[in-house]
Amino acid sequence: MPARTFSARLRPALVGVLGLSTLTGILYPLAVTGLAKALFPRQAGGSLLRSGNQVLGSALIGQAINDPGLFWTRPSATLGTDGRPAPYNALASGGSNLGPSNPELARAAQIRIALLKAADPGNQAPVPVDLVTASGSGLDPHITPEAALYQAGRVARARGLPEAGIRALVAAHTEGPQLGFLGAPRVNVMKLNLALAELR
């Protein structure tokens, strides 16, 4: 009698666990994934940016760039302490955890400022803060319009193009706040560099 009572109690619990596991672990993820692929195929596929059939990257993850003829994105927290660009690694996403009073943060910013000044010695404008500090994720693909315009002269000279045309390209690729009020204007560096490659 006690054994039958135990099995009678165990069966509904097992059925509940199996049912909920199937619902929440298999059916729900399949439904959400299918819906996402049907309604937002590009975003569900990783927001990949292509040139012809070649995948160049994602619009959601920055890339380390040090070519003077391209726009540079903000540094990643996955960079070394020497401040030199390194591949952005989504597996190592995260901030540096250095507080504003930490001398390492100031030292890293000074190294990045020196790299920017060395790439464009004639530029006397103040360096925008997002070009020398990493975002919270360390993978941010965006910079401020001011950071893009700071680089316009260097990019124009390296490519032999008029600076006014480069500034117009930056303006054309400046995205407004989401829904008109969330966040600040921003420029996706990867998209901007792809448009830059199409200029002649």
- Measured distance CA(167)–CA(178) in Å, rounded: 22
pLDDT of residue 167: 97
Q: For residue range 90-124, list pLDDT tens digits in order.
A: 777 767 777 888 898 899 889 999 999 999 999 99
pTM for this entry:
0.76
Q: Going by C-beta distance under 8 Å and a sequence separation of 6 or more, which residues neighbour residue 191? A: 49, 59, 173
Q: Is 140 left (phi over 0), alpha (psi -120 to 50) or beta?
A: beta
Average pLDDT over residues 188-194: 94
> Residue 166 above 60 pLDDT?
yes
> What is the DSSP track for 119-133?
H-TT--SPPPGGGTS
